């Protein structure tokens, strides 16, 4: 990854209809404004005639403007090529709210990666419907919000959760084994800025107890899937998947235990890519520039 400074590097994300000259237009704009490209990825989706680009650049001369001026100057190019585009300063640390229930492995993993500098983010809040993870979270210096779910309080609980997200200014919500069915309204709130980890190799074994389903079917490989939250459970765009080989000797409980490492790894990669603006939506699929 590019070296982070006090300001910059900067990242430009583009999705637009594929046409001749887009790269020339963008790269000429950057070169004119004393920006040096340090990383660049393109994808031409020929099936849908779409173009995707992620370009990282740094200030490299006196004519480099500030972020607002850079955006302003780029706007006409965006309009010309009918772009969806974003421009971010990678030195600004994203704010991430994490939700967890009783299984703490993904939470532990994310917090350690954050502490060690491996994941570059601030964590203004951890939310849970249980109180089990309070001690570790508070030792880590992060506020812990215990929002229990009872019969009849789901709406109120989700309203509290929503308020925490809003008050924290979160850029991203991560459901790190948060074992609650979300209401369509709350899914709407989270849509486009929330990553969930599902403990199966989707689309196999949607819904509850996927490891038990996997054992029942006698599969030889289990997996985990990180995906964006949409309003259809376990149907959101897939960001990352990985697998673990198993055999006949493993009980469903063994699968639960063995799957933890895969869940941690898959979720951590998905979160990292989102923090680094490496993911662009392509309908119900994701383009990921690693």
Q: Are 114 and 172 in contact (CB under 8 A)?
A: no
The angle subtended at Cα 154 by Cα 150 and Cα 158, nearest 5°, is 130
Minimum CB distance to a second copy smaller for 73 or for 169 = 73
Minimum CB distance to a second copy smaller for 165 or for 224 = 224
Q: Give dist(CA 143, CA 194) in Å, integer.
A: 20
Q: Give dist(CA 226, CA 213) in Å, integer.
A: 19
Minimum CB distance to a second copy smaller for 150 or for 249 = 249
- 60, 122, 234, 254: which one is catalytic? 234
Evaluate the CA torsion angle 184, 175, 284, 223 in order and state its sign. Answer: negative
> Which positions from 63 to 92 touch a second copy by CB under 8 A, shown as an x/- string?
------------------------------
Whose CA is closest to 202, among 156, 153, 270, 116?
A: 270
- Applying CB under 8 A, which part among 24-32, 70-78, 89-97, 163-171 lies near a second copy? 24-32
Whose CA is closest to 66, among 117, 139, 152, 7?
A: 7
Binding footprint of a second copy, residue count (CB under 8 A): 69
Q: Give dist(CA 277, CA 290) in Å, integer.
A: 10
Active-site annotation holds for 60? no
b/e burial code for range 147-174 (CB count within 10 A of at least 16 → b): bebeeeeeeebbeebeebbeebebbbbb
Q: Which of 66, 203, 207, 232 binds a second copy (CB under 8 A)?
A: 203
Query: Would you count residue 242 as binding a second copy (CB under 8 A)?
Result: yes
Burial (CB < 10 A; 0-12, 13-18, 19+), residue 61, is: exposed
Query: Would you count residue 249 as binding a second copy (CB under 8 A)?
Result: yes
Q: Which of 4, 34, 122, 179 binds a second copy (CB under 8 A)?
A: 34
Minimum CB distance to a second copy smaller for 100 or for 164 = 100
Interaction with a second copy in 35-54: which residues (CB under 8 A)? 35-47
Query: Would you count residue 286 as binding a second copy (CB under 8 A)?
Result: yes
Bridge partners of 285, per DSSP, are 282
Interaction with a second copy in 98-137: which residues (CB under 8 A)? 104-105, 108, 112, 116, 118, 135-136
Q: Give dist(CA 152, CA 28) in Å, integer.
A: 58
Query: Would you count residue 24 as binding a second copy (CB under 8 A)?
Result: yes
CB atoms within 10 A of CB 244: 18
Which two structure tokens, joined as six digits, stand for 112?
């350690």
Minimum CB distance to a second copy smaller for 127 or for 288 = 288
Contact positions vs a second copy (CB under 8 A): 1, 3, 18, 20-21, 23-24, 27-28, 30-31, 34-47, 60-61, 104-105, 108, 112, 116, 118, 135-136, 139, 201-205, 217-221, 223, 237-243, 247-249, 251, 254, 257, 260-261, 265, 282, 284-288
């Amino acid at each position: 990854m590019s070296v982070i400074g006090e300001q910059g590097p900067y990242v430009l994300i583009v999705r637009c209809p594929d046409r001749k000259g887009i790269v020339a237009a963008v790269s000429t704009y950057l070169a004119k404004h004393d920006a040096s490209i340090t990383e660049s990825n393109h994808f031409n989706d020929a099936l849908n005639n779409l173009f995707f680009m992620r370009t990282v650049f740094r200030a490299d001369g006196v004519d480099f403007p500030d972020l607002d001026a850079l955006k302003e100057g780029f706007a006409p190019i965006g309009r010309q090529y009918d772009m969806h585009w974003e421009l971010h300063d990678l030195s600004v640390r994203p704010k991430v709210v994490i939700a967890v229930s009783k299984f703490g492995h993904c939470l532990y993993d994310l917090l350690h990666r954050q502490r060690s500098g491996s994941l570059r983010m601030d964590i203004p809040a951890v939310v849970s419907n249980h109180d089990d993870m309070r001690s570790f979270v508070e030792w880590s210096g992060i506020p812990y919000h215990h929002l229990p779910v009872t019969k009849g309080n789901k709406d109120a609980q989700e309203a509290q959760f929503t308020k925490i997200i809003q008050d924290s200014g979160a850029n991203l919500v991560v459901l790190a084994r948060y074992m609650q069915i979300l209401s369509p309204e709350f899914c709407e709130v989270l849509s486009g800025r929330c990553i969930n980890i599902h403990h199966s190799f989707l689309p196999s074994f949607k819904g509850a107890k996927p490891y038990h389903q996997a054992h029942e079917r006698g599969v030889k490989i289990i997996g985990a899937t990180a995906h964006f939250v949409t309003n259809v459970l376990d149907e959101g765009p897939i960001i990352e998947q990985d697998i673990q080989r198993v055999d006949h000797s493993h009980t469903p409980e063994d699968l639960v235990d063995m799957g933890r490492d895969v869940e941690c790894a898959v979720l951590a990669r998905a979160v990292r890519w989102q923090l680094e603006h490496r993911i662009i939506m392509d309908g119900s699929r994701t383009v990921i520039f690693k």
